[in-house]
Copies of this chain bind each other. A is one copy, B any other.
Amino acid sequence: MDMPEALAIRAVDRPGRLSDQLVAALRGRIESGELAAGARLPTEQALGARFGVSRAVVREAIARLQADGYVETRQGAGAFVAARPGLASFRIGTEGKLGAGELAQIFELRAAVEVAAARLAAERRTRGDLAAIRAALERMARALAEGAADGAAADDAFHRAIATATHNAYMQRFVEFLGHHFSESRRPSWTDAGRGAGRPQAAQREHERLYAAIARGDAGAAARAAEEHLRSSAARLGVGPAGRRTSRGGGER
C-alpha cells in the first residue's frame, strides 16, 4: 500500500470528523487504482497506526466504504477492494460544491429521466395524481404572485408529483434524489433579481404546458414539454446548453 507518514491525517490539519477524512483518503486510493480491485487492505491496526487514529475510527471509515461497495470485509481474513468498487450506491457531489461543468452533466442526466417520467405520467396518471400535480402547480403560482420565498420548494413538489404519477417507485426516488441535489442551484432563480427577470414566470408557463399534456394523456406532447422546460431551465440557471441536443422535438418513438 505504501502510505508515507507525511500523508497521515491529523485532527489539527483539517477540522471535521476523522473518519470522514479517512474515508476520503481510502476512496481516493481505490479510485486512483493505487489499491487495485481485489487487493487486500492493510489491517485495521495498521491503518490506525499509519494515519494516526484509533481502530474505532478506522472501523467506522471501512464500514462506510463497505456500505458504498468499495470494500468487502471477511471476518478473520481481512478487508478487500471490491471487484467493481463503488457501484453499490450512486452519489453526486462527494467533494464539496459542484462546478458548472458537473452541474451541466447532472442536468443532462436529470433531463433524460424527467422527460421519460413525463411520458410515463401522461400514460398512467390517475385522477389523484392529476390533482396532486395541479395542486403543486397552483401552489407555485401562489408563491409567484405573493412573492413567497418557498417557490423552489413548490417547483420541487411539481416535479415530484409528476414522478409519482409514473407509478414507478425507482423513477420517483431518482427524480427526488436529483432534485434534492439541485435545490441549492435552483434557489438563485427565486431571488429578487431572478424574479425581476421573469425567470419563475417563464418556468411556470412551461409547467402549465407540461401539466396540460399530462392531463389529456398526450405522452408525446408531455415529453416535448418536459424537454423544452428542462432545456430552458438549464439556460436560466446558466449551466449551459447541456450538450448540443439538437432535439427535433419528439423524434423518438
Residues of A within 8 A of B (CB): 19, 56, 59-60, 63-64, 67-68, 84, 87-92, 102, 105-106, 108-109, 111-113, 115-117, 119-120, 123-124, 168-171, 173-174, 176-177, 180-181, 217, 219-220, 223-224, 227, 243-246, 248, 251-253
Question: What B residues does A88 contact at CB under 8 A?
Answer: 91
Shortest CB-to-CB span from A183 to chain B, Å, is 9
Q: Closest chain B residue to A116 by CB distance? A: B112
Residues of B within 8 A of A63 (CB): 19, 60, 63-64
Name the contact of A248 in the complex, choosing from B59, B102, B176, B220 (C-beta under 8 A).
Answer: B220
Q: With the chains together, A219 CA to B217 CA distance in Å?
A: 26
On whether the beta carbons of A113 and B109 are closer than 8 Å, the reply is yes
Cβ–Cβ < 8 Å partners of A90 in chain B: 89-91, 173-174, 177
In the complex, residue of chain B having the shortest beta-carbon distance to the beta carbon of A173: B90
- Interchain CB contact under 8 A, A170 and B112: no
The prevalent SS among residues of A at the interface is helix
What B residues does A106 contact at CB under 8 A?
A: 170
Q: Is the CB of A92 within 8 A of B252?
A: no
Complex contact A170–B109 (CB within 8 A) = yes
Q: Which residue of B lies closest to A106 (CB)?
A: B170
- Report the separation of the CA atoms of residues A63 and B56 in the bound assembly, to the nearest whole angstrom: 12
Residues of B contacting A117 with CB < 8 Å? 112
Of A102, A109, A169, A219, the most chain B CB neighbours within 10 A belong to A109
A177, B87: Cβ atoms closer than 8 Å: yes
From residue A187, how far is it (CB to closest CB) to chain B in Å?
15
Q: What 6 A-B pairs have minimum CB-CB distances, sorted nearest first? A: A112-B116, A220-B251, A87-B180, A90-B90, A89-B89, A223-B252
Bound Cα distance from A106 to B170, whole angstroms: 6
Q: In the complex, what distance in Å separates the CA atom of A170 from the CA atom of B116?
A: 18
Contact A87 B176 (CB under 8 A): yes
- CB-based contact B92/A170 at 8 Å: yes
Q: Is the CB of A123 within 8 A of B171?
A: no
A245-B87 Cα distance, complex, nearest whole Å = 28
Choose from B67, B169, B248 the contact partner of A64 (Cβ within 8 Å): B67
On whether the beta carbons of B168 and A108 are closer than 8 Å, the reply is yes
